[in-house]
Amino acid sequence: MEASSPPLLEVTITYLQMLAAPAAPPALPDDAFIMHAKQPTVSFYRYLYNTIGEPWLWFERRRLSDDTLAKLIAPPEVEMHVLYVGGVPAGYGELDVSQDHETKLVYFGLLPDFIGQGYGKRFLQHLCHLAWRKGTKRVWVHTCNLDHPRALSVYKSVGFVPYDQHQHRIVDPRSSR
């Protein structure tokens, strides 16, 4: 019996950048606040990454061992900012400020229960404002067609501009579960 090939997904990755600091972000609703999670535990990180990323097939960090993931998120140049609404985690954004004059928005998203309630754009605006500290000249992010259908438009709405796009195929991460 011949083994079948794993299913492939067509992925279009769009790279976006912001070359000027945005205006000050609007105030968050009274029930929301953002905390910098200094030295987050792997279990907390996995909770947010897995819960937020499940619908959008975030898989890269699911495959990492706890030790490898801990090394990725431990440096002080990797900042995890968590949005809380009503005292519970509602989303997170991960900034990598390790490059001179450049910040990468590595991950950004909301837990499913908070999508569509007006928190996403405001949270993203706050993260972009944070990204422009320390002499930043460029903030960048990438998204793909597997992310939330409004992801690209939300990034553009806060000032990101596309500068490149690549297409490739990946093995469907659902096939290896």
- Judge contact between 93 and 123, C-beta under 8 A: yes
Q: CA dihedral defined by 125, 130, 132, 135, rounded to 10 degrees?
A: 180
Q: For each of the domains in the chain, give its residue range(s) and CATH number, in order of start.
A: 8-176 (3.40.630.30)
Whether the per-residue pLDDT at 2 is higher than 70: the answer is: no
For residue 36, the one-letter residue type is H
- Nearest CA to 63 out of 78, 75, 53 is that of 53
pLDDT for 26-57, tens place per residue? Answer: 999 999 999 999 999 999 999 999 999 999 98
pLDDT for 64-116, tens place per residue? Answer: 999 999 999 999 999 999 999 999 999 999 999 999 999 999 999 999 999 99
Spatial separation of the C-alpha atoms in residues 77 and 154, rounded to whole Å: 25
